[in-house]
Amino acid sequence: MQVENPGETVEKIKQGEIDESLYSRQLYVLGHEAMKRMSSSNVLVVGLKGLGVEIAKNIALAGVKSLTLYDPAPVAISDLSSQFFLQPEDVGKPRADVTAPRVAELNSYVPVTVHEGGNLVDNLQQLKRYQAVVLTLTPLKEQLAIADFCHKHGIYLTITDTFGLFGYLFNDFGKNFTVGDTTGEDPVEGIVADIDDEGLVSALDETRHGLEDGDYVTFTEVKGMEGLNNSDPRKVTVKGPYTFSIGDVSGLGSYKGGGIFRQVKMPRFVDFQSLEEQLKKPELMVSDFAKFERPLQLHIGVQALHRFAEVHDGQLPRPHNESDAQEVLKIANGLAGGAEEKVELDEKIIKELSYQARGDLNPLAALFGGIVAQEVMKAVSGKFNPVHQWLYVDSLESLPTSVTRSEENCKPLGTRYDGQIAVFGKDFQEKLSNQRQFLVGAGAIGCETLKNWAMMGLGTGPRGQIVVTDMDQIERSNLNRQFLFRSKDVGKLKSDCAAAAVEAMNPELRGKIVTLRDRVGPDTENIFNEEFWEGLDGVTNALDNVDARTYVDRRCVFFRKPLLESGTLGTKGNTQVVLPHITESYSSSQDPPEKSFPMCTLKSFPNRIEHTIAWARDLFQTYFVGPPESVNMYLSQPNYIDQTLKQAGNEKQTLEHLRSFLVTDKPLTFDDCIVWARNQFESQFNNGIQQLLYNFPRDSKTSSGQPFWSGPKRAPTPSKFDGSNPTHLGFIVAAANLHAFNYGIKNPGVGKDYYRKIVENMIIPEFMPSSSVKIQADENEPDPNAERGSSFTDQDEIAKLVSSLPSPKSLAGFRLNPVEFEKDDDTNHHIDFITAASNLRAENYDIPQADRHKTKFIAGKIIPAIATTTALVTGLVALELYKLIDGKKDIEQYKNGFVNLALPFLGFSEPIRSPKGKYMGKQGEVTIDRIWDRFEVEDISLQEFLDHFSNLGLEVTMVSSGVSLLYASFYPPSKVKDRLPMKLSKLVEHISKKAIPDHQKNIIYEVTAEDQTEEDVEIPYVMVKLGK
């Protein structure tokens, strides 16, 4: 990746600044403080096969001070099974020398060098230059020597390796390691309703406080118990979902009202033991409760592998070699017998570990590459809980049963896939190469998935093919985790660049990847047609929105194709397997709806910064998007005014916007735009607040006699414009530039002093509140303005507004430019406006303000993202893909994954079976799969259709297709008579008045019917084949 000005970059790093445009999504995961600590850390990664390069990649993207790589071993062809930065022509060259420059391209802020010097163990003092060390491919004796040195000298150490479908990591972060934030969740805050004399705090309006035992909180704005305000954090004991205790409050007086509690993240201190101690008595993290005993088995098994290698010139057991496996088992039994805790070894597991020891699988490298890189980031930043101290993971369920694995089948063939063949055998490799897979999305998950597929050799065979589609272009903020892209690619299509990058990684993919730029949806079914879907073996989603996921899921269900689904949110991730006729589909479960705020809260009674940001985002729409669009419609649609007058309640507002933008506030110069912006400041942050206080004075009471301004209602204060206040002036600058953009007026390049000069020369009329203005006081009350609007009958005023508008003819060719909101362009004033407007509103209501970074996150609805979670999730997905290719039908062999790297947590569960139903047919009870089953018929007449179901024992009462109702038992006989002889396709065209597109080969019909019990039953949909 190149940066525009290396001098500027170095200067920024010197000043401790962070490139927010590059690290944007990661900053929302880690925060600025953790990023700053990371960016002052030097990290060493030892061993650069697939796992080492995955770790190096993720650490480089994360942004440490420096990354050093060590691996003098020569490149072997089998390394290409998982090491994506190696090429066949690199064979024989030192792995680190070849890899370092390619890792360096990922992030120009991170210098990547090769560790100079001999064997690390010969001179341990050289490790002192690093804050964190990661060991892979390191013999146990060397691990012990390095681990002992690191433990004594406060160097954070992680040891990790993978052996086929097995992998592990070990952490030693020393004594008294400090974790500043154990979860990464935003601190909880809420409004206090009451604090009793025993220290029991009640949250307002039975709002769940969201705290847990042992949390700490601070208080502000408490009346009566003022001693609580801004005092030391108090430990919480949860008493219920709406109450918690803060202990002794004696001597603080009696609670009189008000108060906000905020959770405080308290540091946690963790002690780590040395590797030598932990080998004897390990602290094991359980990742799969279906394999509760497995970690201890593998703990001994991995040590046995190291012992085996020590007596075989550093060589691990040969693939599927029985005598080597017996030797490993014998060593393992000896270790188990001498262990402090007696362990009963599972012979099958230990032998399988031996069979796969030389296996080198990209999915395991991706999985552990994500986990380990995050552990390194935890070590150097103190953010999130580290693994304490061992993690063992395996995916033996991925082993194939459709092919025979033997020493002959698994022996190396001198190919780039030997690391995979060692585990699965050459027959399975051939099967994998002839897959036809569809990848929907080429963003972060898409990039990692394509890289995994390239290493696995997916689609490289004679029948094989990969189709990838993504309509998006590459943006700068993508480069931090979408690692196939470089800065030279910004502005290019993601699908094209991603495909080119993985074709370079594995040239056998050339000519095997079809790239598209089309969104998968109802409007592209002519492209993604029946022929397309029928030709696929499977689909993998790499999408970031629910609607697109749901649509792809529906198509996979219709065409009965397996779907691999995954998603990430910061350090959290999940994977789901959708199997035809076996599991439920993605759409079977739904996330809770997005939280929304009551309109009266946003309009008049905000109490959180989220409220003011949502209000500012709406204001952006009201000023720069909606009215310009209305103006353009007025100028281009002849009947626009007539249509507007039919919109009861909105007509006056729409006409006022038109008059404002075409007559009263239409600017001619940039100075006019500055004047407009200053007037809007006055209207929103002074006049509007004065009006609110006129309607509800500070001392007003509710109907029950309580103070009106209490609880969630904060009494505001009008703002007096101050040109020396950066937020005040920031609003003017952003609003003026956006208003000018609407009218195509260029900014003449003026500085802030110019804006100040213009506004200082303005005369702002004094505001007089009006008694005719009505304001909704509570979300449960009807909106007084809505009532007025819906019954608005002042036709004279409407007529005056209409007559004040210039005729569209007089403005022929004139159009406004509605603003299209774009959060990631720091020069377009969009986020600047929302930040300034939100903070001015927060200033009115005395709400703590948010910086631009936080405002952008909330207003832009940004999904926090980090490369580590993405890598881990795609590794899990690829492990499930092995199972799909093998054709496994047993649901117990599949795993849905749930991860949270912050905690850390890895959990796996069996997918949920598809729901079944039944109906009573003529031949007895019939069982149906509610998701995957359907009826299929030819394009017959409606009469034949009804007879067909009657013969099955189902009396049809209603038939529909889309929004067209084709038949109902309650229709009059004359209506039914005309339709009965019509073919189903013609009937749809007749009712919908639309022709069936040429590319469409079938139509879906929904049927309501009664079975033999004369009860309504839920039956599958019907697919009518058009015979095209």
Which residues are known to be catalytic? 600
- How far apart, in Å, are the Cα atoms of 486 and each of 56, 369, 474, 613? 17, 21, 9, 33
- How far apart, in Å, are the Cα atoms of 773 and each of 418, 681, 688? 78, 20, 11
Radius of gyration of the chain (CA): 33
Residues 6+ positions from 158 with CB-CB distance below 8 Å: 132, 133, 134, 135, 169, 170, 171, 172, 372, 375, 376, 379
CB 62 within 8 A of CB 26: yes
Nearest residue to 663 via CA among 800, 550, 791, 566 = 800
Host H or E run for residue 616: helix 609-624
Nearest residue to 105 via CA among 49, 67, 50 = 67
Using H for helix, E for strand and C for coil, what is the string for 589-601?
CCCCCCCCCCHHH
Please classify residue 978 by burial: count the beta carbons closer than 10 Å to its beta carbon, then call 0-12 exposed, 13-18 middle and 19+ buried: exposed
- How far apart, in Å, are the Cα atoms of 719 and each of 689, 693, 735, 1018? 8, 13, 17, 61
Cα–Cα distance measured from residue 272 to residue 283, given in angstroms and rounded to the nearest whole number:
10
Nearest residue to 854 via CA among 610, 644, 622, 659 = 610
Question: What angle do the packed helices 626-636 and 651-659 form, to 10 degrees?
Answer: 90
At 474, list the tokens: 């590459």
* Backbone φ, ψ for residue 1014 (5° rounding): 65, 25
Host H or E run for residue 552: helix 546-559
Interstrand relation of 42-46 and 66-70 (parallel, antiparallel or unpaired): parallel
Nearest residue to 42 via CA among 132, 110, 111, 155 = 132
Cα–Cα distance measured from residue 957 to residue 946, given in angstroms and rounded to the nearest whole number:
9
Place of tokens 């594995």: 506
Peptide bond connecting 317 to the previous residue in cis, omega within 30 degrees of 0: no
3-state secondary structure of 959: strand
- Extract long-range pairs of 779-787: CB within 8 Å, 24+ residues apart: 779/598, 779/599, 779/600, 779/601, 783/599, 783/600, 786/649
* Secondary structure E strands in 510-616: 513-516, 538-541, 563-569, 572-578
Q: Read out DSSP for 967-1006?
A: EETTS-HHHHHHHTTSBHHHHHHHHH--PPPTT--EEEEE
Cα–Cα distance measured from residue 689 to residue 612, given in angstroms and rounded to the nearest whole number:
14
Residues 6+ positions from 292 with CB-CB distance below 8 Å: 286
Give how far the C-alpha of residue 766 lies from the chain's centroid of Cα atoms, to the nearest Å: 49
Residues 6+ positions from 818 with CB-CB distance below 8 Å: 624, 625, 626, 628, 629, 632, 742
CB 14 within 8 A of CB 23: no
Nearest residue to 674 via CA among 587, 580, 613, 762 = 762
As a 3-state breakdown, the chain gives helix, strand, coil percent values, each rounded to 5, of: 45, 15, 40
Q: How many helices (H) and strands (E) does the chain have?
A: 35, 33
Phi-psi region at 888: left, alpha or beta (left = phi > 0; alpha = psi -120 to 50):
beta
Q: Read out DSSP for 675-705?
A: HHHHHHHHIIIIIHHHHHHHHS-TT-B-TTS
